[in-house]
Structure 1
Amino acid sequence: MSALPDEHDDHFRDDRFSYGLRLGLWRKLFAYTRPYRRDVALLALLALTAAAADVMLPLITRTVIDKVSTHGLNADLRGDALWYVVLTLILGLSIGYFVRVGGKLRAYLSHDIRRDGFENLQRLPFAFYDYRPVGWLMARMTSDCERLANILAWGFLDFIWGFTLMGGIAVAMLMMNAKLALIVLAIVPVLLWVSAFFRWRILHSARLVRQTNSRLTGAYNESIMGILTTKSFVREEATLDDFKTLSGTMATASTRNLIQAAVYLPLILTLASLATGLALAIGGIDLTLGVISAGTLIAFLTYIRYFFAPVEELGYWFAEMQMAQAAAERILSLIETEPDIADSAIVRANLNKTASAAAPRMAADGGDARIRSIDLVDVHFTYETGKPILSGLNLSVRAGETIAIVGPTGSGKSTLVNLICRFYEPTSGRILIDGVDYRNRSLHWLQSNLGVVLQQAHVFSGTILENIRYGRLDASVTEVEAAARLAGAHDFIMAMEQGYQSEAGASGNRLSGGQKQLISFARAILADPQILIMDEATASVDTETEQHIQQGLANVLHGRIAFIVAHRLSTIKRADRIIVLRDGMIEECGNHTELMARRGHYSELYRQQRLEVLPQERLTA
């Protein structure tokens, strides 16, 4: 089985985009330059200045040659020399400044695009990440952003410079000699046809390169994250074969794209050489007939070289623009993706009205009151796969109650708590908080009142103190230590060389699974949540630590609503109610004593676990 993303999955396809030049898309991109209008205006001015200097220099050359041809060594060239020095200084300063301003603008634009992309990633619900690997998203936020920043800064500069220079040269050539000018300009329609011919092909191959690059980055991420599993099952060769296939696709697409660009640019050079040859031949004949001067012919040949220099540069940027458009479509699709789970228009209007009035939060936002009840009314849920996960759940929970959720794998335990957290929303049915549908409340308010401890606890790089304080950023050291004591984490933290200032390492790699779980639990306690969710939260800790946590929970859960998903049934005996899920429906509900007396599914599971634990307890004794 391959862990690589499926290229036929609609979530990874880029071939749905159009192949024409999308002006609307570029307008959205150039909107990022609005905060830097002064820099953009300065860039345009510098480009115009450089182009004007380039146009004027051959005119000085023409004048010098004609003066020398007429007056020989007696020609007065002081004024021409002064103009040449002045124009050279202007050209040098213009180039120096626009390299500086362009580099700054590129850095700013790259920052802003990445910021907006990351900001939207924070808003998107869990469902968005279900089918999009980390590497696939990383490719959009790194290489795609770089390409866009380059085209918006340097590409914009070169387009201004190129078109200004070509326009100025065309006017100058027409004024000097219309016949030669028309011969040179006759090549332009051919250039346009060549550009149109290659545009679609370069864009198509560019999109394939960007698409494959995302999948390749995703494969890197999957392979590195799963290296332990790969080695444990001796799957190195098979994984390498999968990666070689994807890497080969990337190489083929990149080669095709480079060949197309490599053919396109030499064609531009060939056409430029053809124009130069025609001008030299016809101009040479006119020179021998005395129709034009030597200075005019040399200036004309210089202009032809200058005329096609930006064409070559613009040809490069044209090919780059096709690839950038592919990247732009991918980045903007990420930035503009609307979260499926968000505050309703009514809630947003109430929040804005409340904020503008600087008044206490309204009821739609939950206010400052404690949460008194959560009710699930005929809740159904189905993932995108179409398979029903929860069917017709009804449940009422009051403040101070602890609800344990048990059941076989795939029964919907984690899905149920994810719905309560509003990481997902019911496909049908309602979830009420204090009698109000939670979709009519602020999402931020609900999730800021949640404390979640998952089976796979995530620990960030940084100190242990910073990781626990993540639950409440303004917490004091004393409060952090109190939460750690309650979670049973204080002793192992103090046993470390630097205590709470010890580094956790990248993704907590300096800590054991149980230690990461205790830190995650301490973080949730510090947040002082009104709703506490524990999803197999004690699966990675030993029995003694688990008992310590259970004792601390009695104080933590007082007055709060708690949902505990558990596999070890011995840990939930004190729960006010135990819900047994099977096939997405509640099969049994009651406390431990009641369910044991019914001799149903829960009783059978509990006895099986006791039979498994007793031999171990005897061996320990």
Structure 2
Amino acid sequence: MHYEEQEYSKRIDLDTFNKLLVFAKPYKKEILILIIQMILLALVDAIFPKLNQYAIDLFAAKRNLDGFPYYCILVIGLVVFQAANVRLMILNAGKVENSIPYDIRKAAFNKLQELSIAYYDRTPVGWIMARLTSDVKRLGVTLSWHLVDFFWSIFLIVIMTVMMLITHVGYALLVLSVVPFLVIISMIFQKIILHNFRKARKLNSQITAGFNEGITGAKTIKSLSIEGHMLNEFKGLTTEMKNFTVKAATISSIYTPIILFLGSIATGLVLWKSGSQIGEYAISYGTIVAFSSYAVQFFEPVKQFARVFTELQYTQASAERVVTLLDTKNDIIDSQEVIERFGGMFDSNREEWPAFIGNIEFRNVTFRYKEGGNILENFNLSIKAGETIALVGETGSGKTTIVNLACRFYEPTEGSILIDGV
């Protein structure tokens, strides 16, 4: 439970996500279709307030129902189109959500097969399990549903801004006047939320590692009678994670009402300004209704964008950890000449393998683990094929290390180990 992860960047790092976008390339067709669906979804959402404006100004205000049946057909058609578009979007996003994590997990598992035993010595199983499960799952959700919400929010904000400017420039500027305050508030909340989410993810890894130690090391724990110590340590981690999670949720719960409050201010500004102009017929009732709808609707995608922005910060903590695993350098690397002749770990060329005799030679081998002194120093040993030898020595003298080196679980610090003279 004492494994310490590296510290990561304090801000959203696009390079981290760029490294993971390679897993999205096989599904660029589905993602492109998703983006198009989001554009259409945002366009229809922005059209409805405009249709309400026309209905009030053309039918209600003038008490004239000429063309009303066509209006109803148009509205019903848009509703049906929107429903069909949403259904297809859900199916498409679901495919992306499940496919990308599958590819990331496969790549991560392949990486784990390539890594040496030394990696597993210094990395708890719980940390690895958290990367392959909860972190990868969160990445899949981000690259599908959060991507959907992100593009829907962006396109709807842009389209509604254009619609408002076309309808009435003055009222549009009133609604947009609160946006700078929103940007400033978002920047303030970013740092606080990201810090707490990173802490929570780090503690989640330690808790998963604690579960693993408690189960796989149950015999050792009971034989040493340290159940109380393990329980207190685990309880401390879970309590700390609960505190950080509650703090992050509290901050997020403050952020959303602020967005809604800004939306209410924008609506109030529109109603205040338009109230003095209705009697002068400078503005129609339909325009007021449309702008009231736009003022309320405008901050819904802004709120969604803020939510996705928060989730993106949460996801970065997961992305950083997955990328750390995928970018881990192996301690044992074959030369390019060996790979070209005999193949790699997953595509070995057995036809090129030389006949195996079984002679093993340790030649001036010195070995030490990353922490600590030399276990072996200028060690020499020659074992002929078919020989049976016994390694005798006190605990810690290096018997197990010799076997591990012969199996190439580790590379010698100095010297060389030859198999059949190679």
Q: TM-score, normalized by length of structure 2? A: 0.95
Q: Distance in 2 between matches of 1:90 and 1:273?
A: 31
Q: CA deviation at 1:234?
A: 4.1
Q: Distance in 2 between matches of 1:88 and 1:164?
A: 19
Q: CA deviation digits over 1:433-455, x for unaligned, max 9?
A: 2222xxxxxxxxxxxxxxxxxxx
Q: CA deviation at 1:335?
A: 1.2
Tell me the residue number matched to 1:322.
313
Tell me the residue number matched to 2:179.
188
Q: Percent identity?
A: 37
Q: Distance in 1 between matches of 2:122 and 2:343?
A: 34
Matched, 1:424 2:410: yes
1:103-122 aligned within 5 A = 103-122=94-113
CA contact (8 A) 1:62 1:299 kept: yes
Q: Distance in 2 between matches of 1:262 and 1:387?
A: 53
Q: Distance in 1 between matches of 2:319 and 2:224?
A: 40
- Helix, strand or coil at the partner of 1:286: coil
- Helix, strand or coil at the partner of 2:381: strand
Q: CA deviation digits over 1:237-266, x for unaligned, max 9?
A: 332211111111111111121122122222
Which of these residues, 33, 36, 40, is aligned with residue 45 of structure 1?
36
Q: Distance in 1 between matches of 2:134 and 2:40?
A: 32
Q: Counterpart amino acid of 1:375?
A: E
Tell me the residue number matched to 2:129.
138
Tell me the residue number matched to 2:356.
370
Tell me the residue number matched to 1:465.
none
- Helix, strand or coil at the partner of 1:339: coil
Matched, 1:213 2:199: no
1:478-557 aligned within 5 A = none
CA contact (8 A) 1:286 1:292 kept: yes
CA, structure 1 residues 108+382, in 2 after alignment: closer, same or farther (shift >3 Å)? same
Q: Distance in 2 between matches of 1:418 and 1:352?
A: 23
- Helix, strand or coil at the partner of 2:277: helix
Structure 1's consecutive aligned runs of 4 or more residues displaced over 6 angstroms after TM superposition are none
Tell me the residue number matched to 1:334.
325
- Helix, strand or coil at the partner of 2:404: helix
Q: CA deviation digits over 1:133-166, x for unaligned, max 9?
A: 2112111111111111111111111111111111
Q: Counterpart amino acid of 1:39?
A: E
Q: Distance in 2 between matches of 1:202 and 1:405?
A: 56
Which of these residues, 5, 27, 36, is aligned with residue 13 of structure 1?
5
Q: CA deviation digits over 1:327-383, x for unaligned, max 9?
A: 100011001112111212222233469x99x9941xxxxx24123522111001000
- Helix, strand or coil at the partner of 2:390: strand
Q: Which moved more, 1:268-277 or 1:283-292?
A: 283-292
Matched, 1:387 2:378: no
Q: CA deviation digits over 1:571-600, x for unaligned, max 9?
A: xxxxxxxxxxxxxxxxxxxxxxxxxxxxxx
Tell me the residue number matched to 2:141.
150
Q: Which moved more, 1:213-222 or 1:61-70?
A: 61-70
CA contact (8 A) 2:58 2:64 kept: no
Q: CA deviation at 1:98?
A: 0.8
Q: CA deviation at 1:229?
A: 3.7
CA contact (8 A) 2:153 2:302 kept: yes
Which of these residues, 414, 417, 434, is aligned with residue 400 of structure 2?
414
Q: CA deviation at 1:44?
A: 0.9
Q: Distance in 2 between matches of 1:117 and 1:131?
A: 17
CA contact (8 A) 1:53 1:90 kept: no
Structure showing the higher helix proportion among its residues: 2
Which of these residues, 117, 128, 143, is aligned with residue 126 of structure 1?
117
Q: CA deviation at 1:279?
A: 1.3
CA contact (8 A) 1:371 1:399 kept: yes
Tell me the residue number matched to 1:164.
155
Tell me the residue number matched to 2:56.
65
Q: Distance in 2 between matches of 1:347 and 1:55?
A: 62
Tell me the residue number matched to 1:86.
77
Which of these residues, 262, 279, 288, is aligned with residue 270 of structure 2?
279
- Helix, strand or coil at the partner of 2:333: coil
Q: Counterpart amino acid of 1:13?
A: E
Q: Distance in 2 between matches of 1:169 and 1:282?
A: 20
Q: Distance in 2 between matches of 1:340 and 1:283?
A: 71
CA contact (8 A) 1:138 1:217 kept: yes
Q: CA deviation at 1:284?
A: 2.4
Matched, 1:230 2:196: no
CA, structure 1 residues 401+215, in 2 after alignment: closer, same or farther (shift >3 Å)? same
Q: Distance in 1 between matches of 2:223 and 2:413?
A: 39
Q: Counterpart amino acid of 1:66?
A: D
CA, structure 1 residues 288+26, in 2 after alignment: closer, same or farther (shift >3 Å)? farther
Q: Distance in 2 between matches of 1:286 and 1:346?
A: 83
Q: CA deviation at 1:197?
A: 1.0
Tell me the residue number matched to 1:458.
none
* Runs of 5+ unmatched residues, structure 1: 362-366, 437-621
1:440-455 aligned within 5 A = none
Q: CA deviation digits over 1:433-491, x for unaligned, max 9?
A: 2222xxxxxxxxxxxxxxxxxxxxxxxxxxxxxxxxxxxxxxxxxxxxxxxxxxxxxxx
- Helix, strand or coil at the partner of 2:376: strand
Which of these residues, 137, 151, 170, is aligned with residue 179 of structure 1?
170
CA contact (8 A) 1:50 1:90 kept: no
Q: Counterpart amino acid of 1:117?
A: A
Q: Counterpart amino acid of 2:317?
A: A
Q: Counterpart amino acid of 2:118?
A: A
CA, structure 1 residues 211+416, in 2 after alignment: closer, same or farther (shift >3 Å)? same
Tell me the residue number matched to 1:241.
232
Matched, 1:269 2:260: yes
Matched, 1:33 2:24: yes
CA contact (8 A) 2:43 2:159 kept: yes
Q: Counterpart amino acid of 1:405?
A: L
- Helix, strand or coil at the partner of 2:122: coil
Q: CA RMSD in A?
A: 1.9
Q: CA deviation at 1:47?
A: 0.8
Q: Counterpart amino acid of 2:5?
A: R
Matched, 1:291 2:277: no
Structure with larger RCO (C-alpha < 8 A, sep 6+): 2
Q: CA deviation at 1:213?
A: 0.4
Q: CA deviation digits over 1:35-54, x for unaligned, max 9?
A: 11121111111111111111
Q: CA deviation digits over 1:536-594, x for unaligned, max 9?
A: xxxxxxxxxxxxxxxxxxxxxxxxxxxxxxxxxxxxxxxxxxxxxxxxxxxxxxxxxxx
CA contact (8 A) 1:124 1:339 kept: yes
1:527-606 aligned within 5 A = none
CA contact (8 A) 1:379 1:430 kept: yes
Q: Counterpart amino acid of 1:428?
A: E
CA contact (8 A) 2:365 2:378 kept: yes
CA, structure 1 residues 209+48, in 2 after alignment: closer, same or farther (shift >3 Å)? same
- Helix, strand or coil at the partner of 1:287: coil
Tell me the residue number matched to 2:385.
399
1:95-110 aligned within 5 A = 95-110=86-101
CA contact (8 A) 1:381 1:428 kept: yes
Q: TM-score, normalized by length of structure 1? A: 0.65
